[in-house]
Chain A
Amino acid sequence: MLVHKEWEEVFRIRLVIFSVLFMPLLLAGFATYLVWQAQALPEEAAGARAALFNTALMYFLILPVIIPVTIAVYSIVGEKEQGTLEPLLATPIADWELFLGKALAAVLPALGLTWMVFGLFLAASAVILEGLPPGVLSLPWLLSLFALAPLLALFGVLVTMIVSSRTSDPRAAYQFSGLALIPGLIPLIIYSARQTAVSLKLVGLEGALVLALDVGVPYLAVRLFRREEILTRWK
């Protein structure tokens, strides 16, 4: 129910819709361009081709991290701004339920959009290149998209929500969230720097790392969520 309420609220804000839709479409376009460029490279430039493919894949892993920021930042600060947080916290809802509901409300649209624009990317690539480029439906790519991306999205959302619950101003929350997401983006940058195709080993390693973070961060998020401070110190 909290998830539905969040969507009803957030997706009535045009700016949110714009910022949530703009980036995926832009990056899907870039990814298509990169794959197109990679296909045009000669056989001897295999390393450069792999790097371009990896960068294209990286875009689809960045998306689930950055799309939910807008929604997640709004989740706590927006409530406080509207004065709705106090009546909400006065209900019997537990802290973890509140966090889970708000996290899912941000993660699910991000994943849905990422997978949707990946579909668009596949379609565009198929049309432009007259067939799907090799490797984009390989196991490392699919695992990255359907296993690693949700883990990264959850991590990004939880970090953003921690920042959001500790900040009283949405602009500050946006800025701090950007900084807080850097650790989550570092492994992704490694993808684009590689001269060889993304391997199962790399995906597994990163997946294990993010999974470990996803287990610890929710605990931290609930521990750091202090109803009292939010109600009494935020003006």
Chain B
Amino acid sequence: MIETNGLGRTFDGTVAVEDLHLRVGEGEVVGLLGPNGAGKTTTVRMLSCLIAPTSGGAVVAGFDILRDPQRVRERVGVLTETPGLYRRLTVRRNLEFFARLYGVEDVAGQVEKYLDLFGLSDRQADPVGTLSKGMRQRLALARALLHEPEVLLLDEPTAALDPESAREVRDFISELRGAGRAILLCTHNLPEAERLCDRIALLRTRLVAVGTPEELKARLFSPRVLVELAAPDPDLPRALDLPFVKEAELSGNVLALRVEDPERDNPLLVQRLVELGAQVKYVTREERTLEDVYLELMEAGDAD
């Protein structure tokens, strides 16, 4: 559905996106993460044929963005960084206008469907300027879907929303996953990306890493076991002379251990700890978050 091939864009000599190779398949949600200025919005703009790449190319919904921009636009739904709605027009008129621009055959039917789906039917006669931020974002999302696009490009869909509105929008995006669309989601919100995306692409002008959240975590962090003790023993890390323990670190009452294979090694580890007189309260696996992955990769990028 989306396949970029060395996609790149420079603005007056400044590189915004460089050599991007990324694939988003049917029914897949891929999160594009990166700091401000990483090239996320530029990527969305290139894929929606709003701006042309200066190098490489991409095929979106089966059409080349350089050769068939018109056809790409017909098949792509875009949620821009700001909702970009006509504030003086009513909710319904905003949708009707865009439905016609996208060549929707049953304008009234599609508008009705999305007003209903996004809970905006009661407000359809109100000017958009009177809606809350959350409602406007829902309306913008409805507008992006009116023509039943095969590809959805969502740029910061929950930015600047209060937690409740953000959750509503996330729920809607979550429901869209099953419809067979390819969705590229740009976000700063890492828990949101972890919850919504099948795969994550970390962008910092160039693609830093791509994979499922679990793959990225496994790639960066070897498993650690956390042992909570009844009382700390500073000598314990040194006293643990087990070959499979690669690293041991005591922090307060918690002993953090890097082991080769937790499932195989943990029983022996606990046995040895008890032999050394330690009183074990809990043994848990250290949970790494996408935020850890993100920070690790971005810091590695800084070091480079």
Q: Which residue of A lies closest to B69 (CB)?
A: A92
Which of A94, A231, A232 sits near B70, CB closer than 8 Å? A94
- Which stretch, B98-106, B118-126, B256-264, touches the partner chain A? B98-106
Shortest C-beta distance, A51 to chain B (Å), equals: 44
Of B76, B78, B86, which is within 8 A of A84 by CB? B86
Residues of A within 8 A of B86 (CB): 5, 9, 82, 84
Could you tell me if A92 and B88 are in contact, using CB atoms closer than 8 angstroms? no
**How far apart sit A9 and B11, CA to CA, in the bound complex (Å)?**
34
B50 close to A231 (CB less than 8 A): yes
Residue in A9, A87, A89, A92 with the greatest tally of chain B CB atoms within 10 Å = A87
Contacts A12-B88, A90-B48; is A83 near B93 (CB within 8 Å)?
no
Complex CA–CA separation, A9 to B143 (angstroms): 18
The closest CB in chain A to the CB of B143 belongs to: A87
Q: Per a CB cutoff under 8 Å, which of B50, B76, B88, B103 touches A89? A: B50
Q: Is B168 an interface residue (CB 8 A)?
A: no
B287 to chain A, nearest CB (A): 39
Considering the complex, give the chain A residue whose CB is closest to the CB of B45. Answer: A231
Q: How far is the CB of A184 from chain B (nearest CB, A)?
A: 30
A227 close to chain B: CB less than 8 A: yes
Q: Which residue of B lies closest to A11 (CB)?
A: B88
A13: chain B residues at CB < 8 Å are: 88
Who on chain B is nearest to A233 by CB?
B11
Q: Decide yes or no whether B80 CB sits under 8 A from chain A.
A: yes
Distance in angstroms between the alpha carbons of A84 and B84 in the assembled complex: 4
- Shortest distance from the beta carbon of B2 to any chain A beta carbon, whole Å: 15
Shortest distance between the CB of A168 and any CB in chain B (Å): 16
Contacts of A8 in B (CB 8 A): 88-89, 93
A188–B103 Cα distance when bound, in Å, is 43
Whether B82 sits at the interface, judged by CB under 8 Å, is yes
Q: Measured between C-beta atoms, what is the minimum distance from A62 to chain B in Å? A: 29
Chain A residues with Cβ below 8 Å from B148 are: none
Asked if residues B78 and A87 are in contact (CB atoms below 8 Å), the reply is: yes
Q: Mark A86-120, 1 if CB is under 8 A from B, else 0.
A: 11111111100000000000000000000000000
Q: Which among B11, B84, B87, B100 is the interface contact of A86 at CB below 8 angstroms?
A: B84
The answer to the question of B83 belonging to the interface, with a C-beta cut-off of 8 Å to chain A, is yes
Determine the distance from Cα of A232 to Cα of B78 in the docked complex, in whole angstroms. Answer: 17
A8 to B127, CA, bound (A): 11
**Chain B CB within 10 Å, residue with most, of A13, A83, A91, A232:** A91
- For A84, list chain B residues within 8 Å (CB): 84-86
Q: Which of A47-104 contact B (CB under 8 A)?
A: 82-94
Q: Which residues of A lie under 8 Å from residue B74 when comparing CB positions?
A: 92
Q: Identify B51's interface contact among A1, A87, A93, A227, CB under 8 A.
A: A227
Question: Given the known A-B contacts A8-B89, A8-B93, A83-B80, are A91 and B50 also in contact in the complex, defined by CB atoms under 8 Å?
Answer: no
Which single member of B45, B51, B98, B140 contacts A91 (CB below 8 Å)? Answer: B98
Question: Bound state CA distance, A89 and B102, in angstroms?
Answer: 11
* C-alpha gap A170/B206 in the complex (Å): 37
Does A228 make an interface contact (CB < 8 A)?
Answer: yes
Residue of B nearest to A231 (CB): B50
Query: In chain A, what residue has the closest Cβ to B52?
Result: A228
Q: Which residues of chain A come closer than 8 Å to B221, judged between CB atoms? A: none
- B85's nearest neighbour on chain A, judged by CB, is A84
- Proximity bits, A162-196, B CB within 8 Å = 1, else 0: 00000000000000000000000000000000000
A231–B93 CA distance with the chains assembled, in angstroms: 24
A82 touches B84 (CB 8 A): yes
- Known A-B contacts A82-B86, A84-B86, A86-B50; the reply to A92 vs B101 at CB < 8 A is yes
**Distance of A19 Cα from B89 Cα, bound (Å):** 21
B199 CB–A CB distance under 8 Å: no
**Interchain nearest-CB distance for A226 vs B (Å):** 10
Question: Do A5 and B89 touch (CB < 8 A)?
Answer: yes
With an 8 A cutoff between CB atoms, is B40 at the interface? no
Check if B97 sits within 8 Å of A5, measured CB to CB: yes
B204 within 8 A of A: no
Q: List the B side residues contacting A87 at CB < 8 Å.
A: 78, 80, 84-85, 98, 140, 143
17 new A-B pairs (CB below 8 Å) besides A82-B87, A83-B83, A92-B103? Answer: A1-B97, A5-B86, A5-B93, A83-B80, A84-B84, A86-B78, A86-B80, A86-B84, A87-B80, A87-B85, A90-B73, A91-B73, A92-B73, A92-B101, A93-B101, A228-B52, A231-B45
Give 8 pairs: A residue, B residue, CB < 8 Å, sorted on A.
Answer: A1-B100, A13-B88, A82-B87, A85-B84, A87-B80, A90-B49, A91-B102, A228-B52
* 6 pairs of A and B residues whose beta carbons are closest in the complex: A83-B84, A91-B101, A83-B82, A87-B84, A90-B78, A12-B88
